[in-house]
Amino acid sequence: MKILSEAELEEQYESEARDEARDVVSSLEIRLQQIRGGTLDGKEAAKLLAQDASNLRLKARSVNVPGLTPLSLRLDEYLANASEINEQNVTDLQRFSDRISALLDGEHLQAEEIASVVRELPHKSSFDVSDITVTNTEVTLVLPQRTAARVVERELAACGYRVTTVLNPLEALEIILETKPDLVITTAVMPRLSGIDLACALTSMPATKGIPVAVLTSLEPNHPDLKALPMTVGVIRRGPQFGADLADTLQRFAIT
């Protein structure tokens, strides 16, 4: 039996992970065909497609394809709260499928292209309110607590912003590097990598130092941890001051 080198093993694992990701996309394609053909109910399709999207996001972590992680996250979020798939959703999902399939089949996105490709894809709607105009402003939330994330997300969505929530700060770093959002809001206290460390990293790295960053915190203004923050980082306090601080932060960074 031939003993594979480290490089050959990595190539084998990469190939297997890519094939598994392709299988998930193929499953998504089959479900879209079933919806078009009337053999799959819209409500059942929403459940199955959400499972496919979540599975693809997990597979994407093992595939070294630039852009695949943020695209799979966008798809996962698009389907996460869907209750029923309609005709417009099918059109949107086909765009996701075509773009992701192209990446898995060898299309290479340059680093500077990824953000624009992600922005061109459909985005989830937090709620359907006719008097809110959705803008092209992208906000990335880095909050491991889902409940807190929903509160901030609703506030931002009410302003028409397109919000992406990432629960893992290390994954968020990769997402932010590739998607270049217009604003990053991170909670101060997180496992493994604190929001203060993340803010310091983003404001110091050449690739991200131009991205506005704000920290969501319940710490007192004179807390030693907050003193480590660069002057360019905004602070949004939890509690009664939240709305005013958020508005001040958006104004400060001219987020429109």
Residues, the chain, total? 256
Contacts of 58 (CB under 8 A, 6+ apart): none
SS3 11: helix
pLDDT of residue 31: 96
The pLDDT score that the predictor gives to residue 127 is: 40
What is the pLDDT, as a whole number, of residue 147? 84
pLDDT of residue 125: 59
Q: What is the pLDDT of residue 173?
A: 93
Using alpha carbons, list the distances in angstroms from residue 226 to 223, 235, 246. Answer: 6, 9, 17
Choose the CATH number for 6-120 among 3.10.450, 1.10.3470, 1.25.10, 1.20.120: 1.20.120
Question: Beta-carbon neighbour count of residue 119 at 10 Å?
Answer: 17
Helix (H) or strand (E) holding 31: helix 6-37
134 C-beta neighbours (distance < 10 Å), count: 14
Instruction: Map residue 105 onto helix, strand or coil.
Output: coil
Radius of gyration of the chain (CA): 20
Domain ranges of the chain: 6-120, 138-252
Domain 138-252 has CATH 3.40.50.2300: yes
Among 122, 32, 42, 48, smallest CA distance to 84 is for 42
Same fold, 6-120 and 138-252: no
How far is 29 from 242, CA to CA, in rounded Å? 43
Q: Going by DSSP bridges, is the β-strand pair 138-142/234-237 parallel, antiparallel, or unpaired?
A: unpaired
Query: What angle (nearest 5°) sits at the alpha carbon of residue 103, between those of residues 34 and 68?
Result: 90
Q: Global pTM?
A: 0.86
The mean pLDDT values, 10 residues at a time, for the chain of 256 residues are: 70 86 95 96 95 93 91 93 91 96 92 92 64 79 88 85 92 94 94 93 94 92 86 91 90 88
Q: What is the dihedral of CA 152, 158, 160, 161, to 10 degrees?
A: 0
CA dist 161 and 137 (Å) reads: 5
